[in-house]
Amino acid sequence: MVKNKILITGANGFLGSHCVEKFAEKGNEIFTVGRKCVKNAKIRSAVDGEINLENLRKLENIGFDIIIHCGGSGNVGYSLQNPFDDFNNSVNSTISVLEFARNFSPNSLIIYPSTPAVHGLHDDSPIKESDPSMPVSPYGVHKKLAEELCLSYSHNFGIKTAIIRFFSIYGEGLKKQLIWDACNKMYKSENSEIEFWGNGEETRDWIYIDDAIDLIKILCKSKIDKSFIVNGGSGIRYTICETLSALAESFNFSGKIKFNQFQKAGDPKYYLADTTITNLVGWKPKFSLQKGIENYVKWFKECI
């Protein structure tokens, strides 16, 4: 098996930490840059700090086969409260990675995890990669700008880039967003009433973390000449009400689930991936939502 030199930014975060775990166990050499990144048995070299050109240049003499740019913002609410910081985390970090690759590692394949938030509002139908891009939150705008930078560097400088628009990733280690929030409410409520945003009919396309990593692995092995965009979603539509019901069953929660009927700012109502291109590259999810939730609830109960 070919072993690669892989740079993972944001390796202390949810997706980044799982990338380190899964790629290291295959014998790849792992390097990291990002806040609180530290060297350990799985990481050959780590740079603790902002993802900028200065810190990336500390690794300039290595030359990477693959760069997985997980660093950046991942929260709509945060972007609405801190748009400048969100821009820096998403856009400035991305152009730093691209400029580093252009000057010091031009043969690298850059994997950029993005989001369907770049599309903005959408009706209750599968979202295609080619659908119009009209984001409604600073988070979506900044991810769109980062995508455009990837495409620009690919077109103008020949940097190979693969953009994965991940839908709703979840799994052990995720301490934010709906499933984490719901587990905390169920744990603290003692089977009384708990409340959530919306009306419960909003939809999400859930993808378990192990399936997300498998998609990244497939793209790492694919022959990408310049640029490529693919949806990272299961293609299965779940309402928030269905999701919380499955979670309550796994959690053994018998209380009442209530919705406040207010749409949360920046959150589109419908999310469902068109998986035509995803299937063409040879990827399909292995984990059902039920199995993924069972794993998550087990992890949650062990870590509280």
What is the per-residue pLDDT across 92-115, written as a single tens digit (0 to 9) for each? 999 999 999 999 999 999 999 999
Strand partners, 134: 120
Instruction: Write down the pLDDT at residue 44.
Output: 94
Per the prediction, the chain carries an average pLDDT of 95
Q: What is the mean pLDDT of residues 229-254?
A: 96
Asked if the model's pLDDT at residue 270 lies above 60, the reply is yes
Is 13's pLDDT higher than 60?
yes
How far is 89 from 85, CA to CA, in rounded Å? 6
Residues 191-201: pLDDT tens digits?
A: 899 999 999 99
Look-up of token digits 């953009």? 163
The alpha helices in 190-275, defined as continuous H runs, are: 209-221, 240-251
Residue 198 Cα distances to 126, 138, 178, 184, angstroms: 21, 21, 12, 18
pLDDT for 295 beyond 90: yes
Of 224-233, 260-269, 278-287, least confident by mean pLDDT is 260-269
Centroid of chain to Cα 125: 21
Q: Which tokens sit at 79?
A: 């972007």
285 pLDDT exceeds 70? yes
pLDDT of residue 263: 87
pTM equals 0.96
Mean pLDDT, range 263-291, rounded to an integer: 93
Question: In this model, does residue 148 exceed pLDDT 70?
Answer: yes
Q: State residue 223's pLDDT score.
A: 87
pLDDT per position as a tens digit, 72-81: 877 898 999 9
Here the tokens at position 207 are 């993808």
Distance CA 121, CA 267 (A): 9
What pLDDT is recorded for position 128?
98
* 8, two tokens: 């993972």
- Whether 53 and 99 have beta carbons less than 8 Å apart is answered as yes
pLDDT of residue 75: 84
pLDDT for the residue 74: 75
Q: What is the pLDDT of residue 267?
A: 80
pLDDT at residue 191, as a whole number: 81
Amino acid at 141: V
Strand order from edge to edge, sheet including 160-166: 45-48, 29-34, 5-9, 66-69, 109-114, 160-166, 227-232
- For residue 150, what is the DSSP state? H
Q: Which two tokens stand for residue 232?
A: 């990272």
Closest C-alpha among 211, 227, 181 to residue 284: 211
Per-residue pLDDT, averaged over 154-161, amounts to: 97
Placement of tokens 């406040």 in the chain: 260
Q: Give the separation between CA 166 and CA 64, rounded to whole angstroms.
A: 24
Q: What is the pLDDT of residues 215-233, one digit of tens each?
A: 999 999 998 888 999 999 9
Task: Retrieve residue 66's tokens.
Answer: 């693959």
Whether residue 1 is predicted with pLDDT greater than 80 in this model: the reply is no
Stretch 271-275: mean pLDDT, rounded? 97
Closest to 272 in 3D by CA, of 178, 212, 203, 199: 203
Residue range 162-205, pLDDT digits in tens = 999 999 999 999 999 999 999 999 999 988 999 999 999 999 99
Q: Which domains does the chain have, with CATH numbers?
A: 5-169+205-232 (3.40.50.720), 174-203+237-273+287-303 (3.90.25.10)
pLDDT of residue 137: 93
Reference 92, options 39, 41, 145; nearest CA is 145
